[in-house]
A and B are shown apart, each in its own frame.
Chain A
Amino acid sequence: MPRDLSIKKVLVIGSGPIVIGQAAEFDYAGTQACRSLKEEGVEVVLLNSNPATIMTDKDIADRVYIEPLTVEVVEQLIRKEKPDSVLPTLGGQAGLNLAMELEERGFLKEQNVRLIGTTALTIKKAEDRQTFKDTMEKIGEPVAASLVVHNVEDGIAFAEQIGYPVVLRPAYTLGGSGGGIAGNREELVEILSNGLRLSRVGEVLVERCISGWKEIEYEVMRDSAGNVITVCNMENIDPVGVHTGDSIVVAPSQTLGDKEYQMLRTSALNIISELGITGGCNVQYALNPESFEYCVIEVNPRVSRSSALASKATGYPIAKVAAKIALGYTLDEIPNAITKKTYASFEPMLDYCVVKIPRLPFDKFISAKRTLTTQMKATGEVMSICTNFEGALMKAIRSLEQHVDSLMSYDFTGLTAEQLLDQLAVVDDMRIWRIAEAVRRNISYKKIHEITMIDEWFIDKIAILVEMEQSLKTQELTEDLLREAKRMEFPDYLIAKLNGKLSEADVKALREKYGITASYKMVDTCAAEFAATTPYYYSVYGGENESLPGHARKKVLVLGSGPIRIGQGIEFDFCSVHATWAFSKEGWETVIINNNPETVSTDFDIADRLYFEPLTPEDVENVVRLEHPDGAVVQFGGQTAIKLTQALMEMGVPILGTSAKDVDAAEDRELFDEILQQTQIPRAAGHTVYTAEEAVRVANELGYPVLVRPSYVLGGQGMQIAINDEDIVKYIGVINRYTQDHPILVDKYLEGKEIEVDAVCDGRDILIPGIMEHIERAGIHSGDSISVYPARSLSDKIKKKIEEDTTKLARALHVLGMINIQFIVYQDEVYVIEVNPRSSRTVPYISKVTGIPIVPLAAQVILGHTIRELGFEPGLQPEADYLAIKMPVFSFEKIRDADISLGPEMKSTGECLGIADTFNEALYKAFLGAGIRLPKYRNMIITVRDRDKEAMVPIARRFAALGYKIYSTRGTAADLNACGVRALPINKIEEQSPNLMDLILGHKIDLVIDIPEQGVEHAHDGFVIRRAAIETGVNVITAIDTAEALVTSLENTDSRNLHLIDIARIDRRGRV
C-alpha cells in the first residue's frame, strides 16, 4: 500500500525527562522517526519536555514545543497547530499514556485527529492487564496464572491460592515501577500497596512466579497489510526475575534450538497480528529451561529500549521503518537503508554476537541496595559486538567505565567457600564476577546453575575467560596464547599485568611482530549475503578487515560519551552529534567511536563511519591506526572523551580545539591558581591534598564548612560538603576507594548564588549566549539545581563582571571551542568555582532557549572561523524576553535505599524545561514537566534543621495561606507556631503511632519538605522519612530554595493558563 497522502502534519510525542526506565533510547527512536517523516514531506510538530534531546532541534522537527507532557498541554497544542495525526508510539510509556487519555476523553475524535502507528484498542489490548490476558487466551498464547487486583485483600487471597512467590506488576507504569517479587505475605502487602498507588489506574497484576526461567525477547514488526517480521531475538543471561533493562543480554539467543526459536517467533508474530499493531512491538517470554513450556511476560506495543538495542544489534532501523509504516507503507515497499538492495520485509541475520550490559548507578547511591529485581534501576547501558561471546563480554565490561575491565575486577577471594555459595544467590550487578570466582574455586557448573539459574552455556563461557586468565598468569606468552587472548578481547595492559614480566608496550610489540591486529567487520543486517554500503563496524582479532577508509577529505574523529549515567547524560550525545554534523557541513569526513546503543550518535547515518567500540585507549588506537584522522575532538563527549586526550596525543592525533595542556591547566589546582592570579579573578580559598591528614589540616585552616572533591570528575562525583573533621576522613576514604591518580581539592564553602555560563571562544573573541542562575544556593550540584535563564537576580554590574571574567578565563586558557564556567555570587562579589574547557550539561538547554547553535559554532570556530565571521557579535548576547527554567528530574523511587537529599554530588537522571513569558508560568511549567502536580490533599510535612528554621517560617506561612495543613515534629512545630504559622505536632518515626510514617503511608500527603544536615548522614530519621515518602509517591523537597520556588509556583494560579512556545521560531537573539 503506498503512502497515505492524507497525512500531512503529524504531532510526535516524545518521552519527557530522562528517568530510569525511559532514557535516551527514545531520543534515538524519535529523532530517527522524525527524519523519516520529514523525508516523506510530512510536517512534524514535536512535543517533548526534555530540552537535552536531539529530537527537539529545529533541524529535526518543523515545530518544536518543549512543554510539559500533560493532557491539557497536548490538547492545547492540537488546537493550536491542528495536526491531522498523532504518532504516540515513539515517546515510550509516557507517549502511549497520553494518547490513551486523549482517546478516552474523546478529544481526538472531536478534533478530527487520528492516531497513527497504533490504535487505542491496540494500546488497551497490550497495556491493560486484564484485556491483555483475555487477548492472549483468545489466541492460545499462554500467560502465567494471574489476576488483576485493585486492592491488597484480593491480592493476598489470590497469592494464597496460587502460592508464593508471586510477581507484582502495576499497570501503566514505566520500567516496571513499583513492581517486584513477593516471597511472603508481608512482602506482598508492602509491594502491592505501593504498586497500586503508582499505577495510573490503580491496578496491579499478581502472577505466578516464573523466576529462574530463561527470559527471551522478540522484536517484531507488522504493517497495515498484515505482513510480519522478526527483527531480532535476544536472550537475557539473567533469568526471569531481573528486569530486562538490568539484565546482561545477548543477541541473538544462544541456548535456543531452532524449535524453541521458531516456537517463540511464531508466537510473537501471532501476538502482533492479534493486537493489530502497525509498527514495532516487543514481546517478552519466559521459557522453561527444562521443557517447551513458555509464557508471555509482556508486550510493549511501541518502540522501546529493547527495540533500540535490537536496531543497533542488527542494523535494522526499527523507528525509521515504524514511521514509514505509520504513513501507510508496507514492509516490502520500504527499502532496507543498510543494503539498499533489499527491503524492510526481511529478517536480519547476524554473523556476530552482541552483548549488552546495564550501567547501574550504585556508584552514585552508595547506600542503595544493589539487588536487581523486576524494578529497573539502570540509567544506561553499553553494547559490544564480537564474533565470539567471550570477546563481546570483555568489550562490554570495559565499556562500562566503572573501574572494571575483566572478570577479576571485583575481588571475592576473601570469601570462604560457604560464603561464596551464599553470595552466588545474591542477584546484583556483581553476579558474573561472583560466578567467575566460583569457577576459579572449581565449584561445578551444575551447582552454579542450580543457585543462579543462569544457563550452563554462559557459565562455561565465563570459565573459558577464567581459564585464559590462568593461562596468561602461568604460561609463557606464546604467539598462540596471545592470539587466543586477543580473540577473547583481553586488553594488552591486562595481558601484561597477568603475565607479570612483560609491559603493555612489550605485549603490543609482540602483537605487531606476530601480526595480531584488530580488523573491522561490517554490521550489514544480512550476514554478508548482500553487499552493504553502511559504514557501521565492530572489531575482531583475526580475519579480514572490511573497513577500508579513504582519505579524500580531512577527517575528524569524534569520541562519544559512552553509557548514560548520572552526571553524564544525553546532553553529551546531543553535543557529539551536533559536532559531527557541523564538521560534516564544513566538508570533513567524520568518524564516531561510541558504545552506547541508546543514542543518536550510534545511529548508522550520523557519521561517515561508525565504530561500535569501547572507549579505552587501546580500542581507540586500533581505530586511529586504520583511519588516520587529521584530528580528534574531545570537548563534546563529556569526561569519557576528555580522559582519552593524553592517549590520543601519544598516538599522534592532534586534538582539535583547546589543547590538552590548557585542559590540564583548568583541572590542575596549581596551574589554575596561577591563571586566576594572572587574571585577578577570585575564587574560594582552597588547597590540593592527597591524604586525609592533609585534608583535615587544610579544612581547619580554611574553617568549616568546606567542599571536598576529587579533580577530573564530572557530575560532582565524590564531591561533599564537610562540616567537621569526621566528615573529611570519611569522604577521603570514599574518594580513595578507587585508584586515584589525581589529587583531591579542599575548598572553603561559600553559600552564595550559583551562576553558570557556557560560551564559545575563537581564541580572541567570546560569545556568551546567556547567563544561567540557580535557584538553589551553592552546595547543591549544578545538575540538580533549578536553573533560570536569563538570570533575574543579578545586577548589570555583576553580569558585566561575569562576562569579563568569562572572557579573561577563556583567553587565559586559550580556549578554542566550548567553555563552561560556574561562578558563585557571594556578598556582591563574583568568585569562580570551576572552569571546564569543554561542552557541558547545559549546552542543549541554553542553545535551545537562546536560539544560538553553540555546538556547531564551536565546531566551526575549532576549524578556524571567527565568531564575527560567523555573523555573531561577540560578548554576552541580549537577553530573551521570556524565561526558561531547567528543572532537574530524579528517579529516586527506582533505587531502593538511595539517599535522596541533594548536595554537591549529582543525583538527577534528567531534566525538563519550563519556558514562558513570566517567571511564574515558566516555573509552573517546569514543575509540571517534572511531574509535580499540586495541590491534591493540601497536607504537608515540614522538618528542618535548626539553622534553616528561620528561613523556613515565611515559606511555611505561604503554604499555610494556600490552605495547606502542616505537620511537623514537635521541635519544628513549636517554632512554627511561635511564629504564628499553624503546624500540627506529630510523633517522630521511632515514637509510637500515629507518627510521621503513618502519615506518609496514609496517602494523604502532598509534599514533604525535609532539609537534612549537610554532610555525613546524621539523621537516620530523615533518611527513612524521605525514602518512605519517595516510595509512596509523595513529592519530597530537600532544599529550602526549591521549597520557596514551589510555593511561588503554587501561589500564582493564573500562571496555569499555559501559553505554548514554538522553540523552532526562536531567533538567535532569543525572541519568539
Chain B
Amino acid sequence: MKAFLILEDGTVFTGTSIGSRREVISEVVFNTSMTGYLEVLTDPSYSGQAVCMTYPLIGNYGVCGDDQESLRPWLDGYIVRELSRMPSNFRSQDTIQRFLKRYDIPGIAGIDTRALTRKLRESGTMNGMITTDENFRLEEVLPKIKSYRTGNEVELVTRSEPEFYPAGMQESCIPDGHAMAVREVPADWEGNGQGRQGKKLRVALLDLGVKENIIRSLQKRGCDVTVYPAWTSAEEILGTHPDGIMLTNGPGDPKDCPNEIREIRKLYESDTPIFAICLGHQLMALATGSDTKKMKYGHRGGNHPVRDLSTGRVYITSQNHGYMVDTDTVDPSVAVPAYVNVNDQTNEGLKYLNKNIFTVQFHPEASPGPRDSGYLFDRFIEMMGGNK
C-alpha cells in the first residue's frame, strides 16, 4: 500500500506503508546511526517525533528483544529507505514489519531518505504527516501539520510507579564487552576497577524517559537503583537518602517540564551527588538559571566527537537531542562547561561548582552507539564514594 510523507513546507515523498496504516502528524528528525534501529525505536526520547533513518538498509538483523531500550516503541512514525524482507541473526525473534504493526506505529519505506535528510538539514527540523490516504489535499493538511506542537512528552513516557532494580549483572546485559564462550564475563567489562567489594550504592533515578541501559549501567556497577516517575517530588526522593541521584534522558522541549525543573532545583540544593544525561542535563541547567534553545536539526547518531575540556581528549559519543544548553547563559559561578562538541562547539556537559554534580548532553550509556564514554558511570560511582 502506498504511503505519503508530507512536510510542512509542502514537500511530498511517496513510498510504501509499513507498520500501522494510521495517520500521524509529528516532528520529523533524522538519525545517522548505521546499527541500533531497535534501540532507536524503543528510546523514549523520540516520543513526539517521526524518525528517518539515514542508513538505507534497516531490519537486517531483525528484532532482538534484549536490545530494546524500553518496553515498547515511543516514536510517532518511522521512515526508512528499505526494510529487509528477511532478517538474519542468531538472536532475531521477529521482523521490524511485525514489530511496528504490533505497536501500531505508522511508517513509510521506499523514499529517498537522503533527500529528506538534506531538506531537514537545510530547513531545520520540520513537522510532517505520514498518511496512507491518497486523496489528501495539501491545502487542507498543511495548516494542520504546521500547527502541530509537541507537548509534555515526558509525562507520556515516564513510569507510573517507582520500580526497584537490584545491583548486579542482568541477563540482558550479556552482549556487552567480550567474547562470552572464550572467557568469563568480567563483572566490570567497561570499567577498569578491581571488582565490586564493599557496600552497594543506592541510586535514585528520575525517569524522564529513561533508556534501560542507563539503569543496567548502574546495576552492573553495583548500584541498587530505584526508578521514580518524573513527577515524583524532590522530598520523596531525598527522604530515602540515596547515595546519588541520576537524571535521565527524555523527550521534548525541556521548557515543557516546569514541574520537573522545580523539583530538580531542590535536588540541586541538597548535597546529594547528581549525574544527569541529555534531558536531565538540560533540566538541571534550566533549574539553575541557564537557558536552553532549540537546535536547527539537532544531533542524532553515534558519531559525534566531544572534547573533555579537563583533559583535551575527544570521545566519540552517541547523541539524541534537538535542544541544547546555551553556554552563553550559564552563570560561571554556578557551572562551567566540561564538554564541548568538536564539530559545532555546542555545549555537551557542565560541571557544577561547589556541588557534586555533573551533567552531559550525550549518552554514555550508548545503546545504540559507541561506548567510549561509559567511564562516566564510573565517575558517578566515585562521586558517591564507591570504588571506581
Residues on A lying within 8 angstroms of B by beta carbon are 140-142, 225-230, 252-263, 265-267, 269, 288-295, 330-332, 341-343, 345-353, 387-389, 445, 455-457, 460, 464, 521, 526-531, 542-544, 546
Residues of chain A within 8 A of B67, CB atoms compared: 257-259
Q: Are B85 and A460 in contact (CB under 8 A)?
A: yes
Q: Are B114 and A543 in contact (CB under 8 A)?
A: yes
Q: A291-B181, A294-B179 are in contact. List 12 more A-B contacts (CB 8 A).
A: A255-B89, A258-B367, A259-B176, A260-B175, A262-B371, A288-B181, A292-B180, A341-B343, A349-B302, A387-B81, A388-B57, A455-B88
Closest 7 CB pairs of A and B: A258-B36, A543-B112, A457-B88, A347-B303, A544-B115, A259-B175, A527-B54
Residue contacts A-B, CB under 8 angstroms, 6 given = A140-B183, A140-B186, A266-B370, A293-B181, A332-B314, A349-B54
Q: Are B39 and A258 in contact (CB under 8 A)?
A: yes
B312 on the A face (CB < 8 A)? yes
Q: Are A528 and B82 in contact (CB under 8 A)?
A: no
Residues of chain A within 8 A of B183, CB atoms compared: 140, 142
Query: What's the Cα separation between A142 and B175 when bound, in Å?
Result: 15
**Least CB separation from B122: chain A residue:** A531
The B141-199 residues at the A interface (CB cut-off 8 A) are 174-183, 186, 190
Q: Are A353 and B56 in contact (CB under 8 A)?
A: yes
With known contacts A142-B182, A262-B369, A389-B57, A528–B343 Cβ distance under 8 A: no
With known contacts A258-B39, A388-B56, A526-B32, A347–B179 Cβ distance under 8 A: no
Query: What's the Cα separation between A331 and B305 when bound, in Å?
Result: 10
The B310-329 residues at the A interface (CB cut-off 8 A) are 312-314, 316
Residues of chain A within 8 A of B181, CB atoms compared: 288, 291, 293
Give min CB distance, A399 to chain B, whole Å. 21
Q: Mark contacts of B98-125 with chain A using CB atoms, 8 A cut-off: 1 yes-contact digit, 0 otherwise.
A: 0000000000000011110110011000
Residues on B lying within 8 angstroms of A by beta carbon are 30, 32-36, 38-39, 54-57, 60-61, 64, 66-67, 81-82, 84-91, 112-115, 117-118, 121-122, 174-183, 186, 190, 301-305, 307, 312-314, 316, 342-343, 366-372
Residues of chain A within 8 A of B312, CB atoms compared: 225
Q: Are A351 and B370 in contact (CB under 8 A)?
A: no
Q: Are A349 and B313 in contact (CB under 8 A)?
A: no
**Least CB separation from B180: chain A residue:** A292
**Least CB separation from A257: chain B residue:** B61
Residues of chain A within 8 A of B112, CB atoms compared: 542-544
Q: Are B175 and A352 in contact (CB under 8 A)?
A: no
Residues of chain A within 8 A of B174, CB atoms compared: 292
Query: What's the Cα separation between A133 and B387 when bound, in Å?
Result: 31
Residues of chain B within 8 A of A389, CB atoms compared: 57
Give min CB distance, A961 to chain B, whole Å. 60
Of residues B56, B67, B301, B371, which shows the largest number of chain A Cβ atoms within 10 Å of its Cβ? B56
Q: Are B57 and A346 in contact (CB under 8 A)?
A: no
Query: What's the Cα separation between A352 and B66 when bound, in Å?
Result: 27
Q: Are B369 and A258 in contact (CB under 8 A)?
A: yes
Query: What's the Cα separation between A455 and B90 when bound, in Å?
Result: 10
Query: What's the Cα separation between A976 and B40 when bound, in Å?
Result: 80
Q: Are A265 and B370 in contact (CB under 8 A)?
A: yes
Q: Are B91 and A257 in contact (CB under 8 A)?
A: yes
Give min CB distance, A516 to chain B, whole Å. 14
Q: Are A343 and B56 in contact (CB under 8 A)?
A: no
Give min CB distance, B298 to chain A, whole Å. 10
Give min CB distance, A545 to chain B, whole Å. 10
With known contacts A227-B314, A255-B89, A257-B91, A527–B178 Cβ distance under 8 A: no
Q: Are A263 and B177 in contact (CB under 8 A)?
A: yes
Residues of chain A within 8 A of B121, CB atoms compared: 528-531
Q: Are A255 and B32 in contact (CB under 8 A)?
A: no
Main secondary structure of the interface of B (DSSP, over half): loop
Query: What's the Cα separation between A289 and B181 when bound, in Å?
Result: 13
A255, A265, A331: the one contacting B61 at CB < 8 Å is A255
With known contacts A332-B342, A353-B57, A225–B32 Cβ distance under 8 A: no
Residues of chain B within 8 A of A258, CB atoms compared: 33, 35-36, 38-39, 67, 367-369
Query: What's the Cα separation between A543 and B119 when bound, in Å?
Result: 13
B57, B88, B114, B366: the one contacting A456 at CB < 8 Å is B88
B30, B55, B56, B366: the one contacting A262 at CB < 8 Å is B366
Give min CB distance, A278 to chain B, whole Å. 15
Give min CB distance, A346 to chain B, whole Å. 5
Query: What's the Cα separation between A294 and B370 when bound, in Å?
Result: 18
Residues of chain A within 8 A of B176, CB atoms compared: 259, 263
Residues of chain B within 8 A of A544, CB atoms compared: 112, 114-115, 118
Q: Are B57 and A254 in contact (CB under 8 A)?
A: yes
Query: What's the Cα separation between A252 and B61 when bound, in Å?
Result: 14
**Least CB separation from B110: chain A residue:** A542
Query: What's the Cα separation between A291 and B30 when bound, in Å?
Result: 31
Query: What's the Cα separation between A343 and B118 when bound, in Å?
Result: 20
Query: What's the Cα separation between A332 and B366 when bound, in Å?
Result: 21
Residues of chain A within 8 A of B87, CB atoms compared: 457
**Least CB separation from B115: chain A residue:** A544
Give min CB distance, A121 to chain B, whole Å. 22
With known contacts A259-B175, A292-B180, A387-B56, A521–B114 Cβ distance under 8 A: yes
B81, B82, B122, B301: the one contacting A349 at CB < 8 Å is B301
**Least CB separation from A526: chain B residue:** B32
Query: What's the Cα separation between A543 and B305 when bound, in Å?
Result: 31
Q: Are B32 and A457 in contact (CB under 8 A)?
A: no
Residues of chain B within 8 A of A526, CB atoms compared: 32, 303
Give min CB distance, A78 to chain B, whole Å. 35
Q: Are A352 and B56 in contact (CB under 8 A)?
A: yes
Q: Are B90 and A290 in contact (CB under 8 A)?
A: yes
Residues of chain B within 8 A of A225, CB atoms compared: 312-313
Residues of chain A within 8 A of B302, CB atoms compared: 347, 349
Give min CB distance, B35 to chain A, whole Å. 4
Query: What's the Cα separation between A257 and B92 when bound, in Å?
Result: 10
Q: Are B55 and A527 in contact (CB under 8 A)?
A: yes
Residues of chain A within 8 A of B90, CB atoms compared: 289-291
Q: Are B91 and A331 in contact (CB under 8 A)?
A: no
With known contacts A225-B312, A292-B174, A521-B114, A346–B342 Cβ distance under 8 A: yes
With known contacts A292-B175, A332-B305, A261–B35 Cβ distance under 8 A: yes
Residues of chain B within 8 A of A290, CB atoms compared: 90
Of residues B112, B175, B179, B304, which shows the largest number of chain A Cβ atoms within 10 Å of its Cβ? B179
A341, A350, A529: the one contacting B55 at CB < 8 Å is A350
Residues of chain B within 8 A of A267, CB atoms compared: 178
Query: What's the Cα separation between A388 and B56 when bound, in Å?
Result: 7
**Least CB separation from A522: chain B residue:** B114
Query: What's the Cα separation between A233 and B229 when bound, in Å?
Result: 39
Query: What's the Cα separation between A257 and B176 when bound, in Å?
Result: 12
Of residues B84, B113, B114, which shows the largest number of chain A Cβ atoms within 10 Å of its Cβ? B114
Give min CB distance, B65 to chain A, whole Å. 12
Q: Are B86 and A528 in contact (CB under 8 A)?
A: no
**Least CB separation from A528: chain B residue:** B117
B179, B182, B304, B313: the one contacting A226 at CB < 8 Å is B313
Q: Are A346 and B89 in contact (CB under 8 A)?
A: no
Query: What's the Cα separation between A886 and B66 when bound, in Å?
Result: 61
Residues of chain B within 8 A of A456, CB atoms compared: 86, 88
B35, B179, B305: the one contacting A257 at CB < 8 Å is B35
Q: Are A255 and B314 in contact (CB under 8 A)?
A: no
Q: Are A332 and B55 in contact (CB under 8 A)?
A: no
Of residues A140, A531, A542, A546, which shows the largest number of chain B Cβ atoms within 10 Å of its Cβ? A140
Q: Are A293 and B34 in contact (CB under 8 A)?
A: no
Give min CB distance, B330 to chain A, whole Å. 22
Residues of chain B within 8 A of A293, CB atoms compared: 179-182
Q: Are B313 and A227 in contact (CB under 8 A)?
A: yes
Residues of chain A within 8 A of B122, CB atoms compared: 531
Query: What's the Cα separation between A349 and B117 when bound, in Å?
Result: 13
Give min CB distance, B285 to chain A, whole Å. 24
Give min CB distance, B101 to chain A, whole Å. 21
Residues of chain A within 8 A of B60, CB atoms compared: 254-255, 457
Of residues B38, B182, B367, which shows the largest number of chain A Cβ atoms within 10 Å of its Cβ? B182
Query: What's the Cα separation between A387 and B55 when bound, in Å?
Result: 9
